[in-house]
Structure 1
Amino acid sequence: MIFAIALAAAGFLGLGFVAQQHAAYREPLGRMLHPSLLLDLVRRPLWLGGLAAMLCGQILGAVALSGADVAKVEPLLATNLVFALVIGRIVCKEYLSWNEWLGGVLASGGVAMFLVLGRPHGELPVEPTSARWLAAGAVALVAVVLVRAGWGSSLQVKAMLLASAAGMLFGVQDALTRGLLLRLEHGLSAIAASWQPYALVIVAICGLLLAQSAFDAAPLRVSLPAATAAEPLTGIALGVVVFSERLRLSAGALAGEITGLAMMVGGIVILGRSPYLVKRANDAPDPET
């Protein structure tokens, strides 16, 4: 049941990403990384519909995280790229190429291999005051470095770096969500008195702004693969470091886990290399939608 819920979450996320990218790509490049980008997008019905689908995906993802370890759920959520590609192809009425099918099979097969061989288990609740949460802060710092590195780069590189930073923040968001769910037994007052719910809101908003900025810079095939790869890898790493989740570490299992993750990332990269149009700096925003 958890797997089905996580896959449903990935489907809604893929739908949301497609709708949001189509709306954000029409925005002028000068609004990247500026709050006015979000203020403009909230007036677009297509983007709001995408946001609603994304929220459904996030809620279903939270349900999945309430019943399973982060390292189990994150790889399943990563299949949102496959859903996004299929939905995008249906909307554009185009056929999937062999490379895109190969990318989808590798991404999905990598997820399955990691889950079967890794068998993530043994999660432990973590107090908000634990030093282990510094790992989440370190991830956020790396995201800032990626944003800064992409500032003077080409649009394609900037989109991939911004999307990678967004994916890392989404991974932090998933870890914070799981941490809050594990503390529900202490009551809402205890949760409200901690730093985690407020950090969750800030991380979610920053991740959303980075993702929309990446969508503004380049088409979905350029911007989404990096985010899709960064989120599960970040979530798995935080699951191990923060929540003490354990993976099977025998030689055969470890080799299979690494191979599965490599297949997942490789499939995402192949999907991201589909033909695309380059957005020019003088592209005008579409007043419609």
Structure 2
Amino acid sequence: MIVTVILGLAAAALLGVGFVAQQHAAYAEPLKDMLRVRLLLDLVRKPLWLSGIGAMICGQILGALALQRADVSRVEPLFATNLIFALAVAAAVYREPLGGREWLGAVLVSGGVAAFLVFGQPYGGRVPESVSVVWLAMILILVLAAGLVLAAVRVVLPAKAMLLAAAAGMLFGVQDVLTRDSLVRLSLPGHGPGALVVSWQPYTLFVIALLGILLNQSAFDAAPLRISLPAMTAAEPVIGIVLGVAILGERLRVDPIALAGEVAGLMAMVAGIIMLGRSPFLAKTEQGSYRRPDRR
């Protein structure tokens, strides 16, 4: 368990660093490129964005190692701490101490994660049948994410950023479950890389990851990090936990005391994410960027 926690927190740290670099680069892109592949094609020519993507990929690799050792419900809450690391990076870059809001937000996120793991004690997990009806839960999440994207087209920029970020977080939650499923299949007796190649999960994982990156970069293009990142950070663990239970058959304690602790932990985690997301340090990642004439 200790190794899993270390891997999960290291993954969150790299994700947080990567998101700060990505948003700083994406915010300077014209709004007309949102939700278009052209946005990614422009960003790949920016060294800062590439370094952010590199950090994110390294974080995802460590996250995959954590998911290989433990259930999604046990690992997902650890990923939610990426916002704390993003805040720390912003504070270090601008050489200003953290204030009371940042410390309280950090305590809420960290305490919420700890409470959920202590009270929930996630366990179990299995590989579902490829054609099992439980995969309909994943399809439902993808439909809901698509609905958020369609709604984002018709709203003002701050709401657009939050909706796109939430949709990206939902896709990243699906990605985490597919990663866990693929790794478990790979470890089964009689299974190996060959069996994984002929299954649909790895290919779906790749498509979901690309769509998630396009959505989160579009959110970063639309608004500062304080608006876009909290929605994504909150959506990913919630969706990952829900799908881990629905698809992979993971279990949480459901007695009254445990259930109350789990709910309180998740509520504290989300409240802390929102509080940290409003930190003025994260707002400073937009300084040095500029608004193109079409940014309105």
Normalising by the smaller structure, the TM-score range is over 0.9
Letter aligned with residue 258 of structure 1:
V
Q: Deviations over 1:131-171 (max 9, x none)?
A: 21111111111000011111111111110110000000000
Q: Deviations over 1:178-237 (max 9, x none)?
A: 110011131222211111111111100000000000001111111000000000000000
What's 1:37 paired with? 39
What's 1:13 paired with? 15
Provide the C-alpha distance between the structure 2 equivalents of 1:68 and 1:207, rounded to a whole number of angstroms.
23
Question: How is 1:235-250 mapped onto 2 (pairs within 5 angstroms)?
Answer: 235-250=240-255
What's 1:133 paired with? 135
Out of 232, 235, 258, the residue aligned to residue 230 of structure 1 is: 235
Gaps of 5+ in 2: none
Considering only aligned residues, what root-mean-square deviation do their CA atoms show, in Å? 1.5
Letter aligned with residue 267 of structure 2:
A
What's 1:88 paired with? 90
What's 2:125 paired with? 123
What's 1:284 paired with? 292
Tell me, yes or no, if structure 1 residue 176 matches structure 2 residue 165: no
TM-score by length of 1: 0.95
What's 1:147 paired with? 149
Tell me, yes or no, if structure 1 residue 23 matches structure 2 residue 25: yes
Provide the C-alpha distance between the structure 1 equivalents of 2:138 and 2:93, rounded to a whole number of angstroms.
37
What's 2:215 paired with? 210
- 1:48 Cα offset (Å): 0.5
Note if contact 2:83-2:277 (Cα within 8 Å) is conserved in structure 1: no
What's 1:265 paired with? 270
Note if contact 2:22-2:48 (Cα within 8 Å) is conserved in structure 1: yes
- 1:248 Cα offset (Å): 0.7
TM-score by length of 2: 0.93
Letter aligned with residue 45 of structure 1:
P
- 1:97 Cα offset (Å): 2.2
Tell me, yes or no, if structure 1 residue 101 matches structure 2 residue 103: yes
Gaps of 5+ in 1: none
Provide the C-alpha distance between the structure 2 equivalents of 1:86 and 1:237, rounded to a whole number of angstroms.
29
Letter aligned with residue 161 of structure 2:
A
- 1:122 Cα offset (Å): 1.1
